[in-house]
Amino acid sequence: DADVTQTPRNRITKTGKRIMLECSQTKGHDRMYWYRQDPGLGLRLIYYSFDVKDINKGEISDGYSVSRQAQAKFSLSLESAIPNQTALYFCATSDTGRTGRLRYTFGSGTRLTVV
Amino acid sequence: DQQVKQNSPSLSVQEGRISILNCDYTNSMFDYFLWYKKYPAEGPTFLISISSIKDKNEDGRFTVFLNKSAKHLSLHIVPSQPGDSAVYFCAASGPGTSYGKLTFGQGTILTVHP
């Protein structure tokens, strides 16, 4: 099983619909993140959580919300999807490991299309 | 305001030659830099990193160079192999409460021809 699992892998939804993207991890990491990737823009941070009780906005949080249900689960919701939210979404976890160096593990991504 | 920039959208290299991918940053608070590699339909995977206290880090065929005064880093791949063809992202992190949050560049598509 993958260390960071995202569901669904692909989703097409209509404008105005509410949609949830789910992420679960088996790494045991406290820190979890949601990024979106757009062509020519790289990955941009939407929300992040450094532990279960800690939720923080990233650089592009408008139109999104998150829920950290447990250490292993971090969900991203689009309350009312719009076409410019069409993108590839990545969940990630991080820790610093024994070397003290930052280590990220990404999921395989969710391709979301809003029509 | 793009704090991390990869100004070359694509790079094409012959197998066996050197690939050099470049990255510039504007935030002087960044003190840790990483390179990620991404294949289609997969998430980014970690390649190599460098702390701002160093100017070079090597791992096999991959070397990252950091020039703090120029706010520039580069990834060298020698020799390049067809399996290296992927999108490469540089990323940066800052200290304190910013540590752990990564700011990514736009990515460079590397194609290595046999």
Chain segment A59-99, per-residue pLDDT in tens? 999 999 999 999 999 999 999 999 999 999 999 999 876 66
Query: Per-residue pLDDT for A1 more than 70?
Result: no
Binned at pLDDT 50, 70 and 90, residue B105 comes out as: very high
Reduced to 3 states, what is the DSSP secondary structure of residue A95? Answer: strand
pLDDT value of residue A97:
67
Is the Cβ–Cβ distance between A76 and A20 less than 8 Å? yes
pLDDT given for residue A99 in this prediction: 67
Count of CB pairs separated by less than 8 Å, A with B: 57
Helix (H) or strand (E) holding A44: strand A42-51
Residue B71 reports pLDDT greater than 80 = yes
The three-state (H, E, C) secondary structure of chain B, written as one string: CCCEECCCCEEEEECCCCEEEEEEECCCCCCEEEEEEECCCCCCEEEEEEECCCCEEEECCEEEEEECCCCEEEEEECCCCHHHCEEEEEEEECCHHHCCCCEECCCEEEEEEC
pLDDT one-digit tens code per residue, B29-48: 999 999 999 998 899 999 99
Q: Do B105 and A45 touch (CB under 8 A)?
A: no
Asked if A102 and B34 come within 8 Å (Cβ–Cβ), the reply is: yes
What is the three-class DSSP state of A84? helix
pLDDT value of residue B28: 92
For A22, the 3-state DSSP assignment is strand
B104–A40 CB contact, under 8 Å: no
Q: Give kind and range of the element (H or E) at residue A68.
A: strand A64-70
Please report which helix (H) or strand (E) contains residue A82, including its range: none
Bridge partner residues of B88 (DSSP) = B37, B108
What pLDDT does A39 receive? Answer: 84
> Could you tell me if B60 and B70 are in contact, meaning their C-beta atoms sit under 8 angstroms apart?
no
Return the residue of A nearest to B46 by Cα. Answer: A104
Q: What is the pLDDT of residue A41?
A: 86
Mean pLDDT of B81-105: 89
Cα–Cα distance measured from residue B93 to residue B8, given in angstroms and rounded to the nearest whole number: 21
% residues pLDDT > 90 (chain A): 84
Residue type, B13: V
